[in-house]
Structure 1
Amino acid sequence: MSSFFTLPASAKKRKRTAPENSASTSRAKPVKRREGRDESISGSDESDDDRPFQDTNISDSEDEELKDEDPAAKRVRLAEQYLANTQKELLDDGGFDAADVDRENLRLRMGQRLQEDTAESKGKLYRLIADELDWSSANQVQFRVDTKSVTGVAVSGRYVYTVTQDRALVKWELPANASNGTENETSARLSRKPRKVLFTRGKKRCTNHHEKAILCVAASQDGKFVATGGLDNRLIIWDPAMLKPLKVFTGFARDNGHRDSVISLAFRRGTNQLFSASKDRTVKIWSLDELAYVDTLFGHQDEVVDVSVLAQETCVTVGARDRTARFWKVLDESQLVFRGGGAGAHKSKGSKDRKADIPPEERPYNEGSMDRVACIDDDTFVTGSDNGALSLWNVHKKKAVFTFPLAHGLEQPQSLEERSAELDISQSLDAEGPMILDPQPRWVTAMAAIPFSNVFVTGSWDGHVRAWRISADKRRIESLGSLATSSEPADVVEDDASELLREAQLNPMELDEPMQVQTHSEGSAQLNGVVNDLAIVDRDERGKSGVYVVAAIGTSHRLGRWQRFAGRNGAVLFTVPRKVMGDGLAVAADSA
C-alpha cells in the first residue's frame, strides 16, 4: 500500500508545466501580472553608473533586441557609447573634420579628457596650471558706474555681476576679445572694458529689492539664476536676462530666511543648489530649481562670513571670531571642526625686550578672526585671516598643514596726533619718552580659487591682487607674484581727494563718524582701495588662452566703514595669458 511517505522523491515533486485547460490558464494570468510587477521593481536596481549613459534615442526594434542583453555586454556598449560621445565633443570643440585629425593626437586628447573627468568625479586636484600662466604679463582695465563701494563680484559665462553698498546690482558683458580669448588685429581695436548691460538699484522701502547695502552676489554655472544677499537680511533670486526678482526670502519664519545679514553666497558646482552664510551664525541650503528652502546648518559660535563649495554635497565655512573653519557633510548631517588662532610660523616666547629686538616682519601676530575660505578640491581648502596669514588645511588633519604669514605685508601705524583727540599730545606722554606703535598686518579681505587646480588669488588694501600656488604634494603655499604690475590707464585715474569729497557731498548723512583716510605712497601700489571680493575663471574651454581675474574695489570694507581708503569705487578685470598656448593641461596622478 503506497502512501505519501512511501512515494519516491521524483513522484513527490509537482510538475512545473500546468495542464492545458481553461482552469489552469485562468490561474496563470495573475502570475503574468506579478512577473510584470517584478520586472518593474527589478528595473530600479540598475546601477547608478549606467544611468547617465542611457541612449534615449533607441528605437522600439532596438529596444526589443537589447531586452535580453547580457549585463556585461551592456556595460561594454555603454562604455563604447561614452567614448564615442567624448570623441565627438573633442572634434566639435576643435572645429575641424575627423579626417583632418591625426589619430595619435586625438587618442592623447581623449585619454587626457577621460583622466580629467575621472579626477574631477573623485574630487582630486588635477589642474596643475600655475606654472603655465604668465602672471607678470597680466593686463588690467577698470570698469565702473557711479556707485559706492563694490562689495561683491560673480562671473557666469560671458557676464560679470557686481553689487554695491548703495543697493545696486549691475550686469556687465565681457569684451569680444575676452569672451572668446582671441587676440588678433580685429579684436585689438575693440574696447578692453566690459560693457554695462543692465542696472538696477533698490530703494529704502522696497518689497522686491534690497532696502540696505548688498554684501554678496553669486551666479549659477548654467546662467539661469543670480543670487544676492544684504544687510536687510534678504536673499533675493534674480532672473539674469532682465534682472527681475524671481523670489525674495526675508527673515520672517514663513520664508525660512536668515535673521541677520546675509554675508556670503556660493552655488554648488554643476547644480542650482545655493549655500548662504549669515551673521545669525547659520548656513542655509536652497534649491533654486524649485525656489525653495532645503536645510539649515548650525554650529558656528560667531557670524559666518564666508562659504565655499564644489561639486559634492559638502561645504566649508569660516566663523570670524570663533576662529574655526567647518567642513559640513550635508548628507551625513555631520561637521568637522578645524581650529585656528595661532600666531603663524614666527612665534616667539621671549620677553618684551626680546620681542622689541625682532624685526616687525618676523614678529608673531595672533589670529583674531578667520575671514575667507576657498576650496581647492574635496579634501583641501585655504583660509585667510585678519593677521594676514594664509593657512592650508586638509580634512584628514585637525591642524593647518602650512601657514604663510603676512601675505599682504604690514601697514605702517598712524601717528599719535592722528590717533588721539588731545590738542597737545606731548602732555599725555609718559616721562620715559614717546610711545612707539607697532605696524599691523593687512587682513586677507578677498580670496578665490579655480576648482581642482593649484592656483588661488587673494586681495587686501596693499594695492595688489596676489597669486599663489599649492605645491604638488599639497603641503606648501608658494607665491607667484602680483597681478597689479602696471599703473592704471589714464582714462580711469581720478584725484583721490576729489573722489572722497564727491561721495561726502552725495551722502552727507552716512559720514557722521570720523573718516580715517588711508593712502599709499606714490608708486607703491597700483590698485587704490580695498579688494572686497574676487572671482577667477577660465577664458575659454579648459583655460587654453589663460584666465580672467575680476576684483571688486571699494573705498571702504564691505562689512563696515570704520576705515576709509583713498581710491575709486569700481571693479578691475585682469587678463592673465598662458606662457605656452596649447590645450594640454597637467593631470595629477591619482593617489587613490
Structure 2
Amino acid sequence: MSSFFTVPGKRKRPSAPEAPKKRIAASKSSAKTSAKSAKPSAKQAAPSKKRVERDDESISGSDSEDEESYNGASDASNDEGDSDSDNGVETAAEKRLRLAERYLDNVKEHVDEIGFDAAEIDRDLIAERLQEDVAETKGKVYRQLAAELAFDKASQTFFRSNTNSVTSIAACAPYVYTTTKDLFLHKWRIQDLPQHQYPQTTKRKPKKPPAPPKKRPELELWIKGNASKKEDKDYKRHVKNILAVAASSDGKYVVTGGQDKKIIVHDAETLKPIKVFTHHRDAVTGLAFRRGTNQLYSCSKDRTVKVWSLDELAYIETLFGHQDEVIDIDALAQERCVSAGARDRTARLWKVAEETQLVFRGGAVDKKPQPGVNPRSLLHEGSMDRIAMIDDELFVTGSDNGSLALWSVSKKKPVYIQPLAHGLDPPLEPEAASAEVNPDRKVVPAPTPRWITALKTIPYSDVIISGSWDGHVRIWQLSEDKKKIDLVATLGGSSEDQHDDASGDGGDKPHYRSVEGVINDIAVFERGDRGEEGVCIVAAVAKDHRLGRWSVNKGKGVRNGGVVFEIPKIPRASTNGVHDSSEGEEE
C-alpha cells in the first residue's frame, strides 16, 4: 500500500535543528553579559524550527552537544510551539492525510450501505474508486458500461399528456422535464425501481402478495405560456414554441428556450419563473449545463453561443464563429462546450477560458459500398444536426444523411463514420413518384436515409444513444481503442415483434412496442451510485420534428409523449466472499 494511506505515528519534535547552530554560537560569544539576549534568540530559532518540521518527518534531532547550547532556546520555542498547536496550525502533510482519511471513510460508508463489512473491503475496490475519480477530473473515458447492461431485459413504459409535439427533455433524477410546441413545461417523477417502491417495515412475513410495481411516470407540476402575450414585455413565460430545456445537476434550476428568443430560468421545485434573458436575436435551439456547476451554455439561430452564470443570474459572454444556425450544444465538466452548426457543416469546440475555438469540418460520406443499399442513397452530409460529448477529447455528431461521426479533438477529420445508422425510408411506389399512367421504375428516386434527430451519451463511458423515426432507440458502443462505434442493442420493438408476443405465450420476456413517431430528444440518468442498479433512458416522442412540421408515420399509433426504458445491470459475481443469495436460489 502507498505511504499516502498509512497513518504515521506521533511526530517527535526535534530538540535542536542544525540550521541555527552557528547563529547561536556567534550570539553566545558576542553577548555573554545579560540573560535578556536569550529571549530574542529564542524568537529567532522558533520559525526556523517550524520550517524544518514541515519539510520532512524523517529529519532527526541534533547531537547532544548542540542540545546543551540550545537549552534556553528550546524552552522558549516549546512555549510558542504549544501556542501554534492550540491555534490549529496544520501542515501540508497533515492536511493531505486528513483529506485522504475522510475520502476513505466515505468509501467505506458507501460499501457498508451495500452490505459489506468495512474490515473486509478489498483494497482493489478502493483503488478502483480512486482511479475513477482521477480519470473523471482528467476528462477521459474510464467506464466500460455497455458490456455491463442487460439490454435484453429492458422494460418499456409510455407516458403522455394531452399536449402538442414534445420538443425536448431533460433529466435530474428522479425527475424529468419535457417541453412542447404548445408552450407547456411539464415536471414528471420517474417511478422508483420495483425493489424500492414497497419497502418492508416489519420483520413479519406479509400475508398478502406485494402490489404490482408502478411504472408510469407521475405528472407533478406544469406551467403554460400564452401566445397572446407577445406584446407584454414583462410577461415571464414563453409566447412561442419551446424548443429546448436543461436541468441543473443540483436540482435547483430548470431552463427553457424557445422561438420567442427567450431563455427563462425556473425554480425546479415549483416551476416558478425566476429570470428571463432576452439577449439572443433569434430562436434559442439548445441549452446545456456545465457538469456539476450552474454555468449554462445556449445556442441560437442567430449563429452565436452564449455563456451564462445562474449563480449570479447574469450574462457572461458571446462566442462567434458559426456561419449558419447553431442548433445543438453539449458540455461536460471542463469550461468548454461543443456546438453543431447545421448547414455550415462544422462542429466547434469552444475553450471559454482560453477564448479560442477548434473547427471540425464535416460534409464527408463513407464511400464504401453497403450490401443491399443503392449507392444513390449514400448522400453527402447536408446538415449537422446533433452533437454530444463522450469525454473531453471525443464527441459524436449526427447528420441529415443518417450518419454518426466520431471525432477526436486531435484530428480535424472524423475518426469513424457510421453510415445509415437508422436505416432508409421505404421507397416510393412508381405511381407516387410519377404522374404517368404506367410509370417506369427508373423514375423512382432512391430511398432516403433517416435523419439523426436525437443523440446522447453517458458521460465518460462507452455508451452512445441515438434516435430517429425508425421505431427504435439504438445503443452504440465505443471500441476500446476509441476509433470505432458498434451497434450493441436496439430498444423498442417493431410491429412484427409485437405480433409475435401477442401470438405466443410470452413468458417472462419483456413486452416491447415500436416507438412510433419522431424521437426529438433523449435524456439518461443512472440508477444507484455510479449506475450500480442500471440505467434509465427517457425518449421524447412526437408526431413531427421539433424544428418544423415535417411529419412522419401519420397512421395510427403515433402519440405525443415519452418512453421510459429501464435497463438493469448484469449482476456481478461474488465479491469478498459474499455470495448473491438470489443467484444461489436460482441454481
Deviation at 1:540, TM superposition (A): 1.4
Cα distance in 2 for residues equivalent to 1:452 and 1:181: 30
Cα distance in 1 for residues equivalent to 2:494 and 2:430: 34
* Residue 277 of structure 1 pairs with residue 299 of structure 2: yes
SS at structure 2 position matched to 1:136: helix
User: Larger RCO: Structure 1 or Structure 2 (Cα < 8 Å, ≥ 6 residues apart)?
Assistant: 1
Counterpart of 2:330 in structure 1 is 308
Amino acid at match of 2:160: R
Counterpart of 2:472 in structure 1 is 464
Amino acid at match of 2:267: D
Deviation at 1:294, TM superposition (A): 0.6
Cα distance in 1 for residues equivalent to 2:354 and 2:405: 26
* Residue 543 of structure 1 pairs with residue 531 of structure 2: yes
CA contact 2:377–2:449 (8 Å) conserved in 1: no
Counterpart of 1:394 in structure 2 is 408
TM-score, structure 1 as length reference:
0.74
Cα distance in 2 for residues equivalent to 1:472 and 1:379: 14
C-alpha change, 1:68 and 1:303, in structure 2 (3 Å) is same
Amino acid at match of 2:188: W
Amino acid at match of 1:193: R
* Residue 198 of structure 1 pairs with residue 216 of structure 2: no
Cα distance in 1 for residues equivalent to 2:195 and 2:280: 36
Deviation at 1:272, TM superposition (A): 0.2
Counterpart of 1:213 in structure 2 is 241
Deviation at 1:416, TM superposition (A): 5.5
Q: Give matches, 1:70-109, under 5 Å.
A: 74-75=92-93, 77-96=94-113, 101=117, 103-109=119-125
Q: Give matches, 1:169-180, under 5 Å.
A: 169-177=185-193
Counterpart of 2:311 in structure 1 is 289
| Greater shift in the superposed pair: 373-382 or 339-348 | 339-348
SS at structure 2 position matched to 1:326: strand
Amino acid at match of 1:189: P
* Residue 408 of structure 1 pairs with residue 461 of structure 2: no
Counterpart of 1:234 in structure 2 is 262
The number of residue pairs the alignment matches comes to: 481
TM-score, structure 2 as length reference:
0.75
Q: Give matches, 1:287-436, under 5 Å.
A: 287-346=309-368, 359-360=373-374, 364-415=378-429, 417-418=431-432, 425-426=435-436, 435-436=443-444
CA contact 1:282–1:304 (8 Å) conserved in 2: yes
CA contact 1:158–1:179 (8 Å) conserved in 2: no
Amino acid at match of 2:478: I
Deviation at 1:233, TM superposition (A): 0.8
Deviation at 1:325, TM superposition (A): 0.5
CA contact 1:544–1:581 (8 Å) conserved in 2: no
* Residue 439 of structure 1 pairs with residue 444 of structure 2: no
Counterpart of 1:223 in structure 2 is 251
Residue segments in structure 1 that go unaligned for 5+ positions in a row? 1-16, 19-27, 33-59, 251-256, 349-356, 491-522, 585-592
C-alpha change, 1:213 and 1:433, in structure 2 (3 Å) is closer
Amino acid at match of 2:455: M
Counterpart of 1:353 in structure 2 is none
Counterpart of 1:476 in structure 2 is 484
CA contact 2:518–2:552 (8 Å) conserved in 1: no
Cα distance in 1 for residues equivalent to 2:372 and 2:497: 40
Provide Cα deviations, 1:379-429, integer angstroms capped at 9, x if missing partner: 000111111111111000111111111000000233465467xxxx11796
Provide Cα deviations, 1:531-578, integer angstroms capped at 9, x if missing partner: 000011101110001101000000000000033433000000000111
| Greater shift in the superposed pair: 180-189 or 389-398 | 180-189
User: Structure 1 residue aligned with 2:541, among 553, 569, 587?
Assistant: 553
Amino acid at match of 2:169: V
Cα distance in 1 for residues equivalent to 2:447 and 2:166: 27
Amino acid at match of 2:297: F
Cα distance in 2 for residues equivalent to 1:472 and 1:62: 57
CA contact 1:464–1:525 (8 Å) conserved in 2: no
Counterpart of 2:561 in structure 1 is 570
CA contact 1:343–1:366 (8 Å) conserved in 2: yes
Counterpart of 2:145 in structure 1 is 129
Counterpart of 1:41 in structure 2 is none
Amino acid at match of 1:234: K
SS at structure 1 position matched to 2:519: strand
CA contact 1:410–1:439 (8 Å) conserved in 2: yes
Query: Once superposed, what is the RMSD of the aligned Cα atoms?
Result: 3.7
C-alpha change, 1:195 and 1:525, in structure 2 (3 Å) is closer
Cα distance in 2 for residues equivalent to 1:562 and 1:433: 26
Cα distance in 2 for residues equivalent to 1:96 and 1:119: 25
User: Structure 2 residue aligned with 1:117, among 133, 143, 156?
Assistant: 133
Amino acid at match of 2:101: A
CA contact 1:345–1:403 (8 Å) conserved in 2: no
C-alpha change, 1:224 and 1:386, in structure 2 (3 Å) is same
Deviation at 1:346, TM superposition (A): 2.2
SS at structure 2 position matched to 1:265: strand
C-alpha change, 1:538 and 1:182, in structure 2 (3 Å) is farther
CA contact 1:326–1:338 (8 Å) conserved in 2: yes
User: Structure 1 residue aligned with 2:276, among 234, 248, 261?
Assistant: 248
SS at structure 1 position matched to 2:436: helix
Deviation at 1:279, TM superposition (A): 0.5
C-alpha change, 1:443 and 1:525, in structure 2 (3 Å) is farther
SS at structure 1 position matched to 2:109: helix
C-alpha change, 1:213 and 1:543, in structure 2 (3 Å) is same
SS at structure 2 position matched to 1:441: coil
C-alpha change, 1:583 and 1:218, in structure 2 (3 Å) is farther
C-alpha change, 1:102 and 1:92, in structure 2 (3 Å) is closer
Deviation at 1:485, TM superposition (A): 3.5
SS at structure 2 position matched to 1:131: helix
Cα distance in 1 for residues equivalent to 2:380 and 2:312: 44
CA contact 1:382–1:392 (8 Å) conserved in 2: yes
Counterpart of 1:8 in structure 2 is none
CA contact 2:524–2:537 (8 Å) conserved in 1: yes
Which protein shows a greater Rg? 2
- The alignment-based identity, stated in percent, is 47
C-alpha change, 1:178 and 1:233, in structure 2 (3 Å) is farther
Counterpart of 1:515 in structure 2 is none
Residue segments in structure 2 that go unaligned for 5+ positions in a row? 1-29, 32-39, 44-80, 201-207, 230-234, 499-510, 576-587
CA contact 1:556–1:565 (8 Å) conserved in 2: no
Deviation at 1:268, TM superposition (A): 0.3
* Residue 144 of structure 1 pairs with residue 160 of structure 2: yes
Amino acid at match of 1:410: L
Amino acid at match of 1:366: H
| Greater shift in the superposed pair: 362-371 or 304-313 | 362-371
Deviation at 1:84, TM superposition (A): 1.8
CA contact 1:86–1:110 (8 Å) conserved in 2: no
SS at structure 2 position matched to 1:277: strand
CA contact 1:345–1:405 (8 Å) conserved in 2: no
Deviation at 1:82, TM superposition (A): 2.3
Counterpart of 2:493 in structure 1 is 485
Deviation at 1:141, TM superposition (A): 0.1
C-alpha change, 1:579 and 1:80, in structure 2 (3 Å) is same
CA contact 1:236–1:246 (8 Å) conserved in 2: yes
Counterpart of 1:6 in structure 2 is none
